[in-house]
Structure 1
Amino acid sequence: MVSKVQLPEEDSVEVLRNILAERRNYRQFYDRIAHDLVAQAEIFIEQNGNPLMLTPLDLNDYTDCEEEASQRKKSLIGLYSPKKGKLPFLQLEAIRKRNGLVVCPSCGEPGRPRTLDHYLPKDMFPELSVLLLNLTPMCDWCQGEKLTGYITEDGKKRYIHPYFDDVDRPLFSITFTTPFATPSIHISVNEELPEELSLLVKSHLEGIDFLNRFKEHFKTRYISVLRRAKASRENESESLWCLFSIFLEMEEEKSINSWDAVLYRSILANDELMGYLENDPLPEYL
C-alpha cells in the first residue's frame, strides 16, 4: 500500500510563480488571480494538502462574467499540459518518469508508476493544477479507480497524501481464512495506528478498490508460497521462517507496504498458517 514519496526537487511555489509570470495569453486574468493563487498554494503546503482546510477559489472573482470564468478554468487546467520547453514540462516529466519508485505509492503494487494524480482534483481546484506538491506518482490502476471525491460522506479526508502523511510504518495486514490450501483473504488495518490515520487508511483502501485488486495478485503469489514450503521440506537445512524473513526484508526495501511485504509480514505473523506451511499436507498439484 502507500509509501512515503520524496518531495519534488524544485520549490513548488517558486515554480508556480514562474509559470504565472510566463503567461502571455489572458494576462489580465493572471494578474488578477496571481496573488490569491499563490496564497492558495501556500495554504495547501502549510496544511499538508488537507482538503478540509481548503476552499476552491471562485474564478468569478477574477473575471467579468460566468462565461469568462468557465474559459479561464480551462486555461488553468491547461497549464498541466505544457508544450516541450515551457514550464512546467520538465518538472512534470521528472515526477512522472524519474521518481525512483519501484512500487505505486498509492497502493503498493509492484512496478514503476508512470502517471501523475492530482491529489486535489484539478476540476475542483484548477488553481492547483500545476502545483508540484499536488501531483503524486501513481499507477494506471489507481488512477482509474481513485474517485474525484476527496472528502468522505461524513466530512473527513478521503485519501492518503504520500508526500505529507505518516505512512512509513506497516499500515495493514492480510488475514487468512481456512482452508489454508486455498485461503480467502481480508484486510485488517493495524490496530496500533492512531484512530485518525486508521480511518484514513480504511477510506483510502476502499477508494482505490485495493482488496479486489490484491486478491488477483494473491492467487499467483500464494501458489509460490506453497511451492516454497514444499521445497523447504525437501531441503531440511532450509528454514521456511528464515526464508520468508529474508523475502520480507527484501520487499520492505522497496516499500514497507509493498504488496509482497504485506503478504510475507502477514504470513509470518500467523502461527497457524506457518504451522500449516511447515508441517501439514500440501496440495498435490504443486
Structure 2
Amino acid sequence: MMRLTEPLSFERAIEICITGITGNANFKRKVEGVKINLLAEGERYLEGSRNGALYLLAPVDLSHNPNPIVLNDLTKSDFVKLYETYFVPEEKPTREIYEKLLNSAKESCPFCGGIGTPRNLDHFLPKSHFPQFSILPSNLVPSCRDCNMDGKAAVFATQADHQVIQPYLDQERFFLDQWIFAQYKDGEMGEPGEFEYFVSAPADWPETDKRRAKKHFDDFNLARRYAVKAAQNLGTIMSQVKSLKLHGLTDQVICDTILVSGVSEAQFPNHWQRGLYQALILHFSE
C-alpha cells in the first residue's frame, strides 16, 4: 500500500554476493553455476509480481524431504545459507545492499502505511518455501515487527485474491487510488469520538483486486491500527476546532481552513491521516 522504488537488479545482487563467498570454494562454484537458472527464476518472480500472479509460483516440495534440491545441485539449506551467511552479515559486501533496501523505506513500513518502523528485511515469499528468492532484492521488503512477513513463514497465497500487496512491483491502482476510508462517530456524554476505517475499492477495479485490497487490510490489522493513530491525533484537532468556533468561525470555514488541508497533506492516498480528515469533514458538514 506504500510504493517502494524497485531495487537493483537480481544479477547485480548475485554477483556481489558471490564476491563475498570466501573460504568455501566449492560452494562458490555451485552458486556461480546456478546463476543463469536463478536469473530465470527471478524473471518469473518479477512478472508474477507485476501481474498479480505470484500465487502461481509453486513452493518447493517439502513433503518427502525437508531439504530438497531446488536448482541445479543447490538445496534449500544452501539458499538459506547464501542469505544468512553471505548476504546479511555486516562484513560481507552485500550488507550495503541490505542497508540500502532497509533505508529505502525511509523509516516507514510499506505494509501498514508507515505506522511501524522497519527494523529488518523480510522475505515477501518466505525463504522456507521459496528459497530460490532468498537474495532476490525485490523479494526483500523493509518491514516493522507487527507486519513481519518472515514471522508468517508458513503463509503464502495459493489463489489470486489471497495475495497481499507487493510494495515494489504490484499494480499502480493499489498505490494511486484511494481504497481505505474512515467514518467518525461522536462520543457520548462528552467523551471523545472514534474512527472506523474500512475498505471501499473503486467500482471499476477487477473483483480480484478488490478482494486483495481487503485481504491486505485485514491481514495487517489496519482497521485497528489506523483507528488508534487517528484517536491519538483527535484531541489536538478537536481543540483547534473548539478554539476556532469560539472565535466565531462556522463549521464550513473550519473545514476549509484546517480539515481540507489535512487531507491534501497526507503522504499517500491510503494514509490513515487522509481518512481521518475526510471523516471529520463529512462529520462537520452534516
TM superposition score normalised by structure 2: 0.78
Question: Residues 205-260 of structure 1: CA distance to partner in whole angstroms, max 9, x if unpaired?
Answer: 11112222223223222223322221221233582212111122222xx2222221
Q: Give, in whole Å, the separation in 1 of the partners of 2:201 and 2:279.
A: 11
Answer yes or no: is 1:240 the counterpart of 2:246: no
> Secondary structure of the equivalent of 2:101?
helix
The CA deviation string for residues 177-228 of structure 1, in whole angstroms up to 9 with x for no partner, is 4558524524132343512221111001111122222232232222233222
Q: In the alignment, is residue 182 of structure 1 matched against residue 182 of structure 2? A: no
> Is the 8 Å Cα contact of residues 177 and 269 (structure 2) preserved in structure 1?
yes
Would you say the 8 A contact 2:116–2:145 is kept in 1?
no
Question: 2:178 touches 2:269 (CA, 8 Å); kept in 1?
Answer: yes
Q: How far apart, in 1, do the equivalents of 2:276 and 2:120 lie? A: 26
Q: Aligned match of 1:231 in 216, 230, 243?
A: 243
Match of 2:37 in 1: 36
Contact kept in structure 2, 1:150 and 1:159, CA below 8 Å: no
**Residue of 191, 205, 208 corresponding to 2:217:** 205
- Normalised by the length of structure 1, the TM-score is 0.78
Query: Which residue does the alignment assign to 2:78?
Result: 72
| Residues 61 and 225 of structure 1: CA distance in aligned 2, closer, same or farther (over 3 Å) | closer
Structure 2 counterpart SS, 1:90:
helix
CA distance in 1, matches of 2:86, 2:49: 21
1:96 aligns with 2:102: yes
Contact 1:77 1:126 in 2 (8 A): no
Aligned to 1:192, which of 173, 185, 203?
A: 203
Task: State whether structure 2 residue 176 is matched by structure 1 residue 168.
Answer: yes
| CA separation of 1:248 and 1:155: change in aligned 2, threshold 3 A | closer
SS at match of 2:147: helix
Rounded Cα–Cα distance in structure 1 between residues aligned with 2:264 and 2:195: 25
Say whether the 8 Å CA contact 2:105–2:142 is kept in structure 1. Answer: no
Distance in 2 between residues matched to 1:22 and 1:82, nearest whole Å? 11
SS in 1 for 2:108: coil
The count of aligned residue pairs is 264
Matched, 1:150 2:169: no
Asked if residue 60 in structure 1 is aligned to residue 69 in structure 2, the reply is yes
Structure 2 residue matching 1:136: 3-state secondary structure: strand
Please identify, of 50-59 and 116-125, the stretch whose mean Cα deviation from structure 2 is larger.
50-59
Q: Which amino acid aligns with 2:181?
A: S
Identity rate, percent:
19
SS in 1 for 2:125: coil
Amino acid at match of 1:53: L
Aligned position for 1:274: 284
Q: Cα RMSD over matched residues? A: 3.0
Q: Contact conserved, 2:195 with 2:230, CA < 8 A, in 1? A: no
- State whether residues 49 and 169 of structure 2, in contact with CA within 8 Å, keep that contact through their aligned partners in structure 1: yes
The answer to whether the 8 A contact 2:17-2:87 is kept is: no
CA contact (8 A) 1:171 1:193 kept: no
Q: Aligned to 1:47, what secondary structure does the other structure show?
A: helix
Paired residues of 2:76 and 2:131 also in contact (CA < 8 A): no
2:4–2:167 CA contact under 8 A, matched in 1: yes
- AA of the residue aligned to 2:284: M
Contact conserved, 1:52 with 1:156, CA < 8 A, in 2?
no
Between the aligned partners of 2:13 and 2:151, the Cα distance in structure 1 is 27
Identify unmatched segments of 5+ residues in structure 1. 277-286
Q: Distance in 1 between matches of 2:100 and 2:70?
A: 34
